[in-house]
Structure 1
């Protein structure tokens, strides 16, 4: 699914004014420079050509983490948080970023049910402060704001739950 999303993003960029964005393949990443072995694998790293050429910074400029999700599946909701959101919160991904991106591949139900399922998991583990709220960016998207170990550097996550045509998950 992630390969198809990556391909679609590349096609869309060919016909847009954002041609200076590179949609890279998933890569192993190290959360800190002193970490010797990679401790994460980003699903869709994005890099801006101009910034790379100017700074020679090889780390991605934005990261999209992708997870399977269904609001009624407590295991998938837990994985979305623990293996997705928490990688940003714990600075395994985007340590120097103020924003990160999550995509949920909705396997069953409506996208809003997936957001509700994630919020239900966060309530059960006493993390309501990390809840997903409807985003003002576009319909069908959510956002969350999280404190990190560096008090002055919280991270805002933008969430999109993508349904598939022909299933109940395609409803928004």
Structure 2
């Protein structure tokens, strides 16, 4: 007797020690990024340079995720090229992948709650340019100027007012937040918004 696709995916997630996609995203993927942030150089750099600090650290530092990366149960990919619905190429910044679960993150340097975070980040998930078919995705704001809590609060207001936004909520501590959206194919996606400070030395 063959199991259904959801049962198969659940068995993989359970084998890694989690009961749901959301629990795995929050307690393994996002927690690993938070832990990595505490270890890496926090000087301001180019967007890709900052992202690469996280990637190198996750592969090299002893952590909960390292054993899964080394055993290839989980793939961590950056500069991940994908086809859009129009068969154009798009490049996502970070992807955690196991069979049946892709958690795609787009990274942006931010100084304020500017439109680029939404127009060149969040909207790419809504239009299916990124993470088509996925239930969850993420944005990372590399805060290079200003207060991350203030930026988060202002972005919550702006995102909450968008026509495709269903809700803005917090499942993780400030300044992180989540937003749930109708996508252009009428499916829904929940986006985690993460903010980390980077400074001039």
Match in the other structure for 1:47? 97
1:24 CA drift (Å): 1.1
Match in the other structure for 1:96? 133
Using a 3 Å threshold, how does the CA distance of structure 1 residues 25 and 127 change in structure 2: closer, same or farther?
closer
Q: Does 1:23 align with 2:76?
A: yes
Does structure 1 retain, via aligned residues, the 8 Å contact 2:168–2:180? no
Distance 2:198 2:173 in 1: 18
Q: Does 1:6 align with 2:40?
A: no
Aligned length: 147
Match in the other structure for 1:67? 108
Structure (1/2) with the larger helix percentage: 2
Does structure 2 retain, via aligned residues, the 8 Å contact 1:70–1:113? no
- Secondary structure at 1:24's aligned position in 2? strand
Calculate the aligned-residue CA RMSD, in Å. 2.8
Using a 3 Å threshold, how does the CA distance of structure 1 residues 10 and 147 change in structure 2: closer, same or farther?
same
TM-score normalised over the length of structure 1: 0.72
Matches within 5 A, 1:14-163: 14-16=62-64, 19=68, 20-32=73-85, 35=87, 37-38=88-89, 40-48=90-98, 51=99, 61-71=102-112, 77-119=114-156, 121-122=158-159, 127=162, 130=165, 133-151=168-186, 153-163=187-197
List gaps (5 residues or longer) in structure 1: 53-59, 168-172
Does structure 1 retain, via aligned residues, the 8 Å contact 2:144–2:197? yes
1:62 CA drift (Å): 1.5
